[in-house]
Amino acid sequence: MRARLSWLVVVAVLASGCAGPSDEEVWRFAIEEAPGSVQHTYATRFQRRIEEATDGEVRVAVYPYGALGTSDQITEQLHNGTLQLAMSSPGHLGKLIPEMQAFLLHFVLSPDPEVNARALMDPALRRFLDGLYQERGLSFLTAFGEGQMVWTTQEPVRRPADLTGVRFRVMTAPLLMASYEAYGASPTPLPYGEVYSGLQLHMIDAQVNPLFAIEEMSFYEVSNYLVFPRHNEFVTTLAANPRWLRALPPARRALVARVVRELQSEILELQQRTNGERLQAMQERRPELRVIELDEAERTRFEALSTPVRARFIEEAGPRGEALIGELERAVQEAGRLGG
Ligand code: 6CS
């Protein structure tokens, strides 16, 4: 019954997306986050630029999280062509493209978001991702970071032992279970939309997300600590339906590529500003919220426990998953050298 209802909602929303003059082309673009988020700002900038450049011949309909279901459902709709464009983050995409879970491994990306931003532009890494997406029926357009992952907890966390038995919400990619089990936690995969009530009703104790998400989803209202392990950055990808992309006239395809390039150069500043402002807002609204930044020795203890998770990942994602870790590590190292 619930599935039927949500399908009716999708049909109604998509039908409303088609409304307008009959010669108007509509590109449906779903994001995995709420209005005001990093993905939403990205999508609305994309929308404005495409609509201006096409003189209104194309309308970009942006669907925030919830309008078309969970992230898993959005990916399915992109895959089957109901959507033309969507944000697909590895945290959920890992079920369709297991190799993408390389982005979820802890202590692989740099703690410096500027290094990650450069690494994600690495041509060989992007060619690799392009091939993976094509094989699974999606087109890779770009990848970008949305800010470092921060734990919200009820109790202070400085050592892995502090996570023993903690019911830790993770995104739905299978590898995340292994990552938090390695720390002794009790991970629970949940869709994004169920995290707040899970915390409020004490069904889970902790979750992990960038600061802007912790603020706009109100997770900080039902948590006592913000813990900064600097173990991973939230990375998302922008993907397109391949049949739609191939059928676009070359000038339109070039326009999409130009706008994606332009936005790539704006996203780092956008995410850093948004995350900084949201941290300040949370601290002003809830002064009792405590911030814990793990020092190097504390990070090293988590890093040591996270290393064996790579073997689990390679077991699941195979040789190409292993190759993707190699690409990612090389790109991060080179990006680090370039910046230094
Ligand atoms: O935790 C999640 O599920 C979500 N977090 C962010 C920041 N974006 C989308 C994702 O689904």
Pocket lining: 190 vs ligand 1, CB cutoff 6 Å: no
Ligand 1 nearest atom to the CA of residue 208, by list position:
1
CA 90 to ligand 1 center in whole angstroms? 10
* pLDDT, average across residues 61-78: 95
Asked if residue 153 lies in contact with residue 168, where contact means CB atoms within 8 angstroms, the answer is no
Question: Could you give the strand order of the β-sheet that contains 58-63, starting from the edge strand earlier in sequence?
Answer: 58-63, 25-30, 85-88, 233-240, 139-148
Closest-CA residue, ligand 1 atom 4, reads 192
- Residues in CB range of 244: below 8 A, 6 or more apart: 81, 84
Residue 339: pLDDT band with limits 50, 70, 90: confident
- β-pairing verdict for 167-170 and 186-189: parallel
Closest-CA residue, ligand 1 atom 1, reads 192
- Residues 144-167 pLDDT 10s: 999 999 999 999 999 999 999 999
CA 40 to ligand 1 center in whole angstroms? 12
Pocket lining: 210 vs ligand 1, CB cutoff 6 Å: yes
Pocket lining: 207 vs ligand 1, CB cutoff 6 Å: no
Pocket lining: 83 vs ligand 1, CB cutoff 6 Å: no
Give how far the C-alpha of residue 338 lies from the chain's centroid of Cα atoms, to the nearest Å: 25
Residue 3: pLDDT band with limits 50, 70, 90: very low
Pocket lining: 213 vs ligand 1, CB cutoff 6 Å: yes
Pocket lining: 171 vs ligand 1, CB cutoff 6 Å: yes
Task: Specify burial of residue 321 (Cβ count, 10 A radius: 0-12, 13-18, 19+).
Answer: buried
Ligand 1 nearest atom to the CA of residue 213, by list position:
7
Q: Which of 33, 40, 65 to mutate to test the pocket of ligand 1 (most atoms within 8 A of CB)?
A: 33
The pLDDT, as a whole number, for residue 89 is 96
* % of residues, the chain, pLDDT over 90: 91
Ligand 1 nearest atom to the CA of residue 92, by list position:
11
- Residues in CB range of 68: below 8 A, 6 or more apart: 10, 13, 14, 30, 74, 77, 83
Name residue, tokens 């078309």.
Answer: 68
Residue 1: pLDDT band with limits 50, 70, 90: very low
Q: Which of 31, 70, 71, 220 to mutate to test the pocket of ligand 1 (most atoms within 8 A of CB)?
A: 71
- Residues 102-148 pLDDT 10s: 999 999 999 999 999 999 999 999 999 999 999 999 999 999 999 99
